[in-house]
A and B are shown apart, each in its own frame.
Chain A
């Protein structure tokens, strides 16, 4: 029995049927440490027991894929014998409880995933969701999470080159903090987490083990948040970026010197998860002597040592003859590297404590014999399009435009990224604030363009189309820099899949994402699932955050979002009719947004890449939240130059200006190149010259209606929105 009088398995978050399964597999009652290990490894956070069956729908192979899902991070070939390694991961629940450390350790965790593959991190990104900024709690969470990301990322020296944030009541009690890390590694230096070689040593590297983060994966990350969240604060880990930097340098030095057989980071469920993954993947056993694990404090029970989530630790497999060299290299980096056990041929995870065997579990029981569940798939009602006649037409389109630019969801995110080191490593060619970050691949003239994006309103309304839209918006951001989208990673943030239509939305959005990824030829190589983002106030929107990596063969050809020169032609490129449905302009998640057409997006991406290669475009910027009017204003503000366009009014001028949907890009080019760009456009992609760069105002004529804002005022409103919202109270 546990302390509450309930059975221990129930306190640990296991169902009675799951406990019976443990007993059946083991052929006996598990010891307490064993039960703790099962409870964590079979938690949703570690096992994906509700989502794994659905994830099989993703395309995960392709000529560039070097390493797909299942390892610490995915890897794709980018030529010159190099691979780009990347993954996005959530740290939602810890951030909702303690935003600074929750967000900071989220960065630490994703960076270690990249290090574990043997790669050098070259970029960080983050995708955030909070309640609206009129809430004091949301302002606190937002401010502290951003500080935490900056604190950790700045100190470890990885440039933060992009991301996104949205504010909505649905995230008031369940904020989302997703972090993505991108690294580079020569193919022959890629490390696997598979333990190999009977008799090889199991080596724990980095921080000492303490009592922090015990049960984080099950208590925090696999249950809904409630009123007693403050009590869960001890389950949030505390990060030390200085140690992480030393760990990063050490792991790279060890890999360079060929001293490692395998490497794995310690994240959720700590040593238990790391060791069982390494054993299962390598088809071997691991024997751990818990008394040799360096502890930060005395008195830890064996179960606590096995599941502590103390940060900045890695687990390595090392040949016995190389142990001395590993220990010496660790000493020079001022870190511990401790031999805590060995590789065995049993296939079992064994743990000794004070000379006694306290754990003996076949590792596959923990990693593969998880009870998987089908989620209920109750469809939500099909959406109905907004009747435009019920939407009041604004008297003053110019005022409506300024109001939209001042919506924190649309406004400049400078307040965030100004707190991040965007430049360390001297490889950042396109900084945050544009469509995607562009970073040079070190030692080459190539670059990667990286972004994170999500269309949660669309996904709530129509999960299949919204899944597609999430992929295509992210890929379009990357394509706007001139890069070719080559692969993706995803972080599926959803509510409780056992309730309402969440399971259906999860399944449908994955199907939509998969179809879009297939159409644009960008396989998923890594990912993460975060469920139970739900509180007594209700579920979050289904939030499938997509990270896309694109490749530029010549870094010098990348395109930015800012207009450059007076008299350059402004082009509207792409497809799709703008609609007010689920738009920022309408300001609510309602209606039937324009369905994306992945094949036309694929053609749009090819056009943009070819234009970059031929250096035909001077700028390109995705039309997203706030529609054409906001995209135009942003290109003007970023370039500190005005612009004037004329477009058809369509159904109504406000919808033409502020409506969203389809795949559209605002671009600029030398007037002499308009015909060249149009000639390169493939089927289904329209290239229309809509105006010219210049002047001190930003002006849109839609039919007989005109909206006009001064560049200076637009910039003030757009830049000032978030700082003012934070200072207001």
Chain B
């Protein structure tokens, strides 16, 4: 039997497609790079990853232009049918811009780009995205962004991950990642694809990719 297919979207300016694809392979699935001008997801797509980067150079607003590309129509259909979608960093911004997740990502309170390792606390343990970790359990995953402060109404989403300790970017309620109410669409600012092996400092990012095929 062939491996489960996971579409890894690629827009002009996407940067993390290779590492996201390796993380997809790491959980035994088959990554398929998918071009932004395509109007359909690859045949047999089980789940979608929208990796990080600077799609369209962050022109207009981060994620704004990418959210209006042809492939996002197919992603919306996939999500409506209950398919899983994981948006990381710029992918999270694209999901918010496209309306698949509520809220917006505002510039960090410091108004500067911040890159560092973070402890993330599992808030809502009931979604598939944290692999059965209990509420309050901690995942060590790095984040790096300039526009990562989620702003919106927490009740419109499920708060999956919160920054533990100091709020690094001024997001509402220390939110690091949310899913839609149905739980099949997940967006987070930290980068689980960069927490995949001990030599990189953490393996805690694996649960989010494992959730794609769970």
Q: Which residues of B contact A419 (CB under 8 A)?
A: 112-115
Q: Cβ of A426 and Cβ of B200 under 8 Å apart?
A: yes
Q: A421 CA to B146 CA in the complex, in Å?
A: 10
B154 within 8 A of A: no
Q: Cβ of B54 and Cβ of A155 under 8 Å apart?
A: yes
Smallest CB–CB gap between A729 and chain B, Å?
18
Q: A154 CA to B89 CA in the complex, in Å?
A: 13
The residue on B at minimum CB distance from A243 is B57
Known: A155-B58, A423-B194, A426-B200. A246 touches B12 (CB 8 A): yes
Smallest CB–CB gap between B119 and chain A, Å?
14
Set B16, B18, B144, B199: member contacting A556, Cβ < 8 A: B199
Q: A319 CA to B152 CA in the complex, in Å?
A: 55
Set B12, B115, B193: member contacting A426, Cβ < 8 A: B193
Q: Cβ of B57 and Cβ of A155 under 8 Å apart?
A: yes
The residue on A at minimum CB distance from B191 is A423
The residue on A at minimum CB distance from B53 is A157
Q: Cβ of A245 and Cβ of B15 under 8 Å apart?
A: yes
Q: Cβ of B200 and Cβ of A421 under 8 Å apart?
A: no
Q: A154 CA to B142 CA in the complex, in Å?
A: 15
Most buried by A among B15, B53, B115, B146: B115
Q: Cβ of A154 and Cβ of B113 under 8 Å apart?
A: yes
Q: Which residues of B contact A242 (CB under 8 A)?
A: 12-13, 54, 56-59
Q: Which residues of A contact B19 (CB under 8 A)?
A: 424-426
A429 within 8 A of B: yes
Q: A440 CA to B194 CA in the complex, in Å?
A: 13
The residue on B at minimum CB distance from A421 is B144
A240 within 8 A of B: yes
Smallest CB–CB gap between A292 and chain B, Å?
25
A310 within 8 A of B: no
Which residues 588-628 in A have Cβ within 8 Å of B in the complex? none
Q: Cβ of A423 and Cβ of B56 under 8 Å apart?
A: no
Q: A556 CA to B19 CA in the complex, in Å?
A: 19
Q: Which residues of B contact A334 (CB under 8 A)?
A: 12
The residue on A at minimum CB distance from B143 is A423
Q: Which residues of A contact B191 (CB under 8 A)?
A: 423
Q: Cβ of A241 and Cβ of B57 under 8 Å apart?
A: yes
Q: A333 CA to B116 CA in the complex, in Å?
A: 31
Smallest CB–CB gap between B134 and chain A, Å?
26
Q: Cβ of A150 and Cβ of B57 under 8 Å apart?
A: no
Set B56, B59, B113, B194: member contacting A150, Cβ < 8 A: B113
B130 within 8 A of A: no
Smallest CB–CB gap between A393 and chain B, Å?
40
The residue on B at minimum CB distance from A246 is B12
Q: Which residues of B contact A422 (CB under 8 A)?
A: 115, 144
What per-residue 1/0 map shows which CB atoms of A219-250 lie under 8 Å from chain B?
A: 00000000000000000000011110110000
Q: Which residues of A contact B199 (CB under 8 A)?
A: 429, 440, 555-556
The residue on A at minimum CB distance from B196 is A426
Q: A150 CA to B110 CA in the complex, in Å?
A: 15
Q: Which residues of A contact B56 (CB under 8 A)?
A: 242
Q: Cβ of B57 and Cβ of A423 under 8 Å apart?
A: no
A147 within 8 A of B: yes
Q: Cβ of B116 and Cβ of A418 under 8 Å apart?
A: yes
> How many chain A residues touch the partner (CB < 8 A)?
29
Set B13, B18, B115, B196: member contacting A425, Cβ < 8 A: B18
Q: Cβ of B114 and Cβ of A418 under 8 Å apart?
A: yes
B133 within 8 A of A: no
Set A155, A157, A245, A420: member contacting B115, Cβ < 8 A: A420
B164 within 8 A of A: no
A428 within 8 A of B: yes
Q: Cβ of A418 and Cβ of B115 under 8 Å apart?
A: yes
Q: Which residues of A contact B76 (CB under 8 A)?
A: none
Q: Cβ of B144 and Cβ of A423 under 8 Å apart?
A: yes
Which residues 139-180 in A have Cβ within 8 Å of B in the complex? 147, 150, 154-157
Set A245, A424, A426: member contacting B13, Cβ < 8 A: A245
B22 within 8 A of A: yes
The residue on A at minimum CB distance from B16 is A424
Q: Cβ of A423 and Cβ of B142 under 8 Å apart?
A: yes
Q: A429 CA to B114 CA in the complex, in Å?
A: 19
Q: A246 CA to B10 CA in the complex, in Å?
A: 12
Q: Which residues of B contact A243 (CB under 8 A)?
A: 57
Q: Which residues of A contact B59 (CB under 8 A)?
A: 242
The residue on B at minimum CB distance from A424 is B15
Q: Which residues of B contact A157 (CB under 8 A)?
A: 15-16, 53-54
Which residues 181-201 in B have Cβ within 8 Å of A in the complex? 191, 193-194, 196, 199-200
Q: Cβ of B113 and Cβ of A240 under 8 Å apart?
A: no
Known: A334-B12, A424-B15, A426-B22. A240 touches B57 (CB 8 A): yes
The residue on B at minimum CB distance from A160 is B115
Known: A157-B15, A423-B144. A147 touches B112 (CB 8 A): yes
Q: A418 CA to B194 CA in the complex, in Å?
A: 16
Q: A334 CA to B57 CA in the complex, in Å?
A: 13
Q: A420 CA to B115 CA in the complex, in Å?
A: 6
The residue on A at minimum CB distance from B195 is A426
Q: A428 CA to B115 CA in the complex, in Å?
A: 13
The residue on B at minimum CB distance from A153 is B113
Q: Which residues of A contact B142 (CB under 8 A)?
A: 423
Q: A417 CA to B54 CA in the complex, in Å?
A: 19
Set B12, B13, B113, B115: member contacting A423, Cβ < 8 A: B115
Q: A259 CA to B105 CA in the complex, in Å?
A: 41
Most buried by B among A150, A156, A334, A424: A424
Q: A150 CA to B111 CA in the complex, in Å?
A: 13
Q: A429 CA to B15 CA in the complex, in Å?
A: 19
Most buried by A among B12, B22, B116: B12
The residue on B at minimum CB distance from A333 is B12
Which residues 627-652 in A have Cβ within 8 Å of B in the complex? none
Q: A425 CA to B196 CA in the complex, in Å?
A: 12
What per-residue 1/0 map shows which CB atoms of A425-440 lie under 8 Å from chain B?
A: 1101100000000001
Which residues 74-100 in B have Cβ within 8 Å of A in the complex? none
Which residues 1-60 in B have Cβ within 8 Å of A in the complex? 12-13, 15-16, 18-19, 22-23, 53-54, 56-59
Smallest CB–CB gap between A329 and chain B, Å?
14
Q: A418 CA to B144 CA in the complex, in Å?
A: 9
Smallest CB–CB gap between A441 and chain B, Å?
13
Q: Which residues of A contact B13 (CB under 8 A)?
A: 155, 242, 245-246
Q: Cβ of A429 and Cβ of B200 under 8 Å apart?
A: yes
Smallest CB–CB gap between B113 and chain A, Å?
5
Q: Which residues of A contact B146 (CB under 8 A)?
A: 154
Smallest CB–CB gap between A181 and chain B, Å?
16
Q: A429 CA to B12 CA in the complex, in Å?
A: 27
What per-residue 1/0 map shows which CB atoms of B98-141 lie under 8 Å from chain A?
A: 00000000000000111110000000000000000000000000
Most buried by B among A240, A243, A418, A426: A426
Smallest CB–CB gap between B206 and chain A, Å?
13
Q: A555 CA to B58 CA in the complex, in Å?
A: 34
Q: A296 CA to B16 CA in the complex, in Å?
A: 31
Smallest CB–CB gap between B38 and chain A, Å?
13
Q: Which residues of A contact B196 (CB under 8 A)?
A: 426
Q: Which residues of A contact B194 (CB under 8 A)?
A: 423-424, 426
Q: A428 CA to B194 CA in the complex, in Å?
A: 9
The residue on B at minimum CB distance from A150 is B113
What per-residue 1/0 map shows which CB atoms of B160-198 lie under 8 Å from chain A?
A: 000000000000000000000000000000010110100
Q: A428 CA to B201 CA in the complex, in Å?
A: 9
List 24 contacting pairs A-B, 8 Å CB cutoff, sorted by A.
Answer: A154-B113, A154-B146, A155-B13, A155-B54, A155-B57, A157-B16, A242-B12, A242-B13, A242-B54, A242-B59, A245-B12, A245-B54, A246-B13, A333-B12, A334-B12, A419-B112, A419-B114, A419-B115, A420-B115, A421-B144, A423-B142, A426-B16, A426-B19, A555-B199
A-B pairs, top 9 by smallest CB distance, nearest first, are: A242-B57, A157-B15, A426-B19, A155-B54, A426-B194, A423-B194, A421-B144, A419-B113, A429-B199
List 13 additional contacts besides A245-B15, A421-B115, A426-B23; criterion CB under 8 Å. Answer: A154-B146, A155-B58, A157-B15, A246-B13, A419-B112, A421-B144, A423-B144, A423-B194, A424-B19, A426-B16, A426-B200, A429-B200, A555-B199
